[in-house]
Structure 1
Amino acid sequence: MTKQYTEDHEWVEAEGGIAIVGITHHAQDALGDVVFVDLPEVGKTFAQKDVAGVVESVKAAADVYMPLSGEIVEVNEALRADPSLANSDPLGAGWFFKVKLSDAGQLDGLMTETSYADLVAKG
């Protein structure tokens, strides 16, 4: 599976119509120490760009946007119990939720690792 990225600093890994979503290294660096995550409800449906959750740190709170339209099929309960996973392993154990895609074509609008790195470099 290949990670893809959004301008809002979320990453997506999709396979078989299910996508795993989390925040990027850049996002967690900007936030600082994450102390709380508000994850979406399983079974809830979101449109692309809807606010699906909130991540709070000692410095700020930030919305987590839906990178793709679909239904939440799982949330990361380990992250809810230990929000610091968003800092220590944002691209792995710190994932936020899984979504059943309603429009897999939306994946074509996401960025590659290279284009995301260019976006971050530009500030």
Structure 2
Amino acid sequence: MTKYYTEDHEWIAVTGNVATLGITDYAQAQLGDVVFVEVPSIGRKVKKGEETAVVESVKAASEVYAPVTGTVVAANEPLADSPITVNEDPEGAAWFCKIELADPSELEVLMDEAAYKAFVEGL
């Protein structure tokens, strides 16, 4: 598994040709207490940069963007019933969906963990 990050504070963990998508700990901390999550439906085609999921907190609503193009092959439906999981385990149990990659070369422009950490420290 290789993990990548975006400047919009999404992460994807890639195993083979499938990327698991979520938001970072930094993102959940900025949002505050998460009260609603909407995950995409299985079979949905997503394009890099497209809104893929929605997270709402007591402070704000935020879109989760696809860092890659592909097809949603799994959705974390239980997250809708337990949105607080985003605050409790943002980079683990609170994944939003799994996307089968259409173009693995899109991963090349994403940050690794060290680059993301430096990016966040500069904010």
Query: What's the TM-score bracket when you normalise by the shorter of the two chains?
Result: over 0.9
Percent sequence identity is 48
Residue of structure 1 equivalent to 2:45: 45
The alignment partner of 1:3 has SS state of strand
Name the count of aligned residue pairs.
123
4+ runs deviating over 4 angstroms: none
The letter for the 1-side match of 2:61 is A
Look up the match of 2:66. Answer: 66
What value does the CA root-mean-square deviation take over the aligned residues?
0.7
- TM-score, length-normalised on structure 2? 0.97
Mapped partners of 2:121, 2:79: distance in 1: 28
Q: Which residue of 2 aligns with 1:107?
A: 107
Q: How big is each residue's C-alpha offset from its partner over 1:41-81, in whole Å with a ceiling of 9 and x where there is no partner?
A: 11110110001111000000001000100001111012111
**Structure 1 residue aligned with 2:23:** 23
Q: Could you tell me how far apart the structure 1 residues matched to 2:104 and 2:17 are?
A: 7
Q: Structure 2: which 5+ runs fail to align?
A: none
1:92 aligns with 2:92: yes
SS in structure 1 of the partner of residue 20 of structure 2: strand
- Alpha-carbon distance, 1:118 to partner: 1.0
Letter in 2 for 1:100: E
Structure 2 CA distance, aligned partners of 1:3 and 1:17? 13
CA distance in 1: counterparts of 2:97 and 2:32, whole angstroms = 21
Give the structure-1-normalised TM-score: 0.97
Distance in 2 separating the partners of 1:39 and 1:95: 9
